[in-house]
Structure 1
Amino acid sequence: MRDVFESQLKTLKDDMIEMGSMIEKAIENAIRALNNRDTELARAAIEADSEIDEQEKKIESLCLKLLLHQQPVASDLRMVSSALKMITDMERIGDHAADISEITICLAKNNKNVNLKVLHEMAKETTVMLVGSIDAYVNKDLDRAQEVLEHDDIVDSLFLEAKKEVIQLIRKEEDHGEEAADLLMIAKYFERIGDHAVNISEWVVFSITGKHDKNY
């Protein structure tokens, strides 16, 4: 019976790694599409969202099966319950990649080369957080998870810079108001991706230590 349980736990870990790879690719495509106003790549990121949703359902089903049939305890229980929480945040990251890509398509149609410099930095920093949170889970790395938690302040500061850039852009180029608002929305999505990476890392910490800073 234990051998079956161990095999299912390994499947869970592999499925989580796969979902992590899927959202990393979706974000990478969304960022490249935004930078190059590449509508084809943006559509690829949007289409990937349904695959990410299916992966979430697959993992959720496996977790519930483990909880109901195997009744895990201690660290095994924390691993399974943490995975259930993490996939919600991972799925929402996929949603935000699609959201960014939808705005990118609109920007490309308008044919106006309007940019916020800080967006490139936000994209880089949120990617660091996302990759770090997934790596922390895969390797059960408490220090890596902590690094992601501490990184959140950087992304929050960059979002404040983005708001300032938008105000300056509107003042200088009044006819770019709609595009500026779209870019601010993209900045907000990047900030949310950072928040979800933080949530993932907090559940990694819980899976290892049994402690969680927030009450759920």
Structure 2
Amino acid sequence: MRSKFDEQLLELNKEMIEMGNKIVQSIKNAIEALIARDEKMARAIMEGDVEIDHLQKKIEGICFNLLIQQQPVARDLRNVTAALKMVTDMERIGDHAADISEMTILMGQGSQIDKFEHISKMATETMIMLNHSIEAYVEKDVIKAKEVIEHDDVVDDLFVEAKKDVIKLILNNPGEGEEATDILMIAKYFERIGDHATNIAEWVIFSLKQKEDADEV
């Protein structure tokens, strides 16, 4: 019975890694499409969000099977519960990548987005956070998870700088108010992606802390 449970846990980890890789790629493609004003790529990202949703459902199915069929002990129960919580945040990250791509299409070819380097930096930093949060879960690395949480300050600081850039755009080009609003929204999406990566890391710490407590009993 335990060997079957361990096999399903390995499958769970594999699917979590695959979903993590896909949403990191979505973020990467989203910022590339945004800077290049590539409507075709942006539409492909939006269409690809369906695949991420399917992965979420697949992972949830694995988790529910583990909970219902395998009757896990408390330590494993917390691990599976954490995965269920994490996958919700992962799906939301995929949604935000699609949201950014939708904004790319709405903004069109006249956008000045390529002048806003802080947004590109936000994309890079959130990808780092997301990668490390998934690695922390798979590797059971509480130190890496805590580093992800601390790294969110970097994204928050970049968001503040991005807002300053938007204010400058409005002051220098009063007629660009609509685009300024769109750019600020994009920056907010990246800030939210950082928040979701932080949530994932917090669930990793929760599951590992509870594991330590269970081992001490």
Q: Is 2:148 the counterpart of 1:180?
A: no
SS at match of 1:112: coil
Q: Is 2:111 the counterpart of 1:112?
A: yes
SS at match of 1:46: helix
**What residue in structure 1 maps to residue 214 of structure 2?**
none
SS at match of 1:72: coil
**What residue in structure 1 maps to residue 127 of structure 2?**
127
TM-score by length of 2: 0.92
Identity, % of aligned pairs?
59
Aligned-residue offset at 1:112: 3.2
Aligned-residue offset at 1:105: 1.1
Aligned-residue offset at 1:95: 0.2
Alignment check: 8 A CA contact 1:52 1:91 kept: yes
Could you tell me how far apart the structure 1 residues matched to 2:175 and 2:29 are? 29
Aligned-residue offset at 1:155: 1.0
Could you tell me how far apart the structure 2 residues matched to 1:73 and 1:177 are? 56
Aligned residues: 210
**What residue in structure 1 maps to residue 35 of structure 2?**
35
Q: Deviations over 1:127-184 (max 9, x none)?
A: 1111111111121111111110001111111111111211111010112111111010
Aligned-residue offset at 1:117: 2.5
Could you tell me how far apart the structure 1 residues matched to 2:187 and 2:167 are? 14
Partner amino acid, structure 2, of 1:113? Q
Partner amino acid, structure 1, of 2:28? E
Q: How does 1:37-186 map to 2 (within 5 A)?
A: 37-109=37-109, 111-114=110-113, 115-186=115-186
Alignment check: 8 A CA contact 1:29 1:44 kept: no
**What residue in structure 1 maps to residue 18 of structure 2?**
18
TM-score by length of 1: 0.93
**What residue in structure 1 maps to residue 197 of structure 2?**
197
Aligned-residue offset at 1:72: 0.7
Could you tell me how far apart the structure 2 residues matched to 1:39 and 1:119 are? 19
Could you tell me how far apart the structure 2 residues matched to 1:15 and 1:79 are? 15
Q: Deviations over 1:57-100 (max 9, x none)?
A: 11111111111111111321121000000000000000000000
Aligned-residue offset at 1:113: 3.0
SS at match of 2:189: helix
SS at match of 1:71: coil
- Runs of 5+ consecutive residues of structure 1 not aligned to the other structure: 212-216
Could you tell me how far apart the structure 2 residues matched to 1:34 and 1:173 are? 21
Partner amino acid, structure 2, of 1:4? K
- Is the deviation greater in 7-16 or in 202-211? 202-211
